[in-house]
């Protein structure tokens, strides 16, 4: 199986890049990310079909089979939380923005002050979204880790549904 080629070449970004450039880049990166997911599913699809059958018959999964299920359901989130290394920087930046906002509280402000505050809040929204995305993935991994350990017959239809949906998306 071959990985998508040339992705790093199109990731050239500079201060001279336009918003349209980044919009096009985002579409290319989304396509590449989806191709990687499809490659993973191609490589593990046969095993997943056997796991779905086993779950449907109420049989317990081996640790290796649970790992396959894990990789299909939360592998993306698990990998993201492992490789993302900006959380501390985002937290520090958010605290700095909080301090900047505090500087405007309780004082008379000019229109320029309000414009500056607006810009600070816009930046705070961006940083908060980065933090939220990281934490959402981290919490998703934690919830799955708990649920896969206690997987029972009642959970099987739900897991089967998720896995079948992903298998079907592979065929599209």
The full length of the chain comes to: 172
Query: What residues have CB less than 8 Å from 162, skipping those under 6 apart?
Result: 72, 73
Residue 150 has pLDDT above 80, yes or no: no
Confidence of residue 10 (pLDDT cuts 50, 70, 90): confident
Over its C-alpha atoms, the chain yields an Rg (Å, rounded) of 22
Is pTM, for the whole model, over 0.85?
A: no
How many Cα atoms sit within 13 Å of 144 on the Cβ side? 22
Residue 147 has pLDDT above 90, yes or no: no
d(CA 64, CA 160): 17
What would the two tokens of residue 120 be? 């600070």
What would the two tokens of residue 10 be? 């199109």
Confidence of residue 1 (pLDDT cuts 50, 70, 90): low
Per-residue pLDDT, 135: 97
Lowest mean pLDDT among 38-52, 57-71, 103-117, 158-172: 158-172
């Amino acid at each position: 199986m071959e990985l998508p080629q040339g992705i790093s070449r199109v990731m050239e970004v500079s201060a001279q890049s336009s918003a349209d450039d980044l919009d096009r880049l985002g579409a290319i990166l989304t396509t590449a990310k989806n191709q990687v997911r499809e490659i993973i599913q191609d490589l593990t699809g046969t095993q997943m079909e056997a796991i779905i059958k086993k779950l449907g018959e109420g049989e317990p999964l081996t640790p290796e089979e649970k790992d396959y299920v894990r990789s299909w359901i939360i592998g993306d989130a698990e990998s993201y939380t492992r490789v993302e290394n900006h959380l501390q920087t985002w937290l520090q930046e958010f605290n700095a923005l909080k301090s900047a906002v505090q500087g405007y509280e309780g004082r008379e402000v000019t229109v320029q002050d309000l414009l500056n505050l607006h810009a600070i809040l816009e930046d705070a929204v961006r940083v908060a979204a980065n933090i939220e995305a990281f934490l959402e993935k981290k919490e998703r991994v934690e919830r799955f880790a708990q649920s896969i350990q206690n997987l029972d017959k009642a959970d099987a239809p739900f897991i089967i549904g998720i896995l079948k949906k992903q298998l079907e998306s592979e065929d599209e």
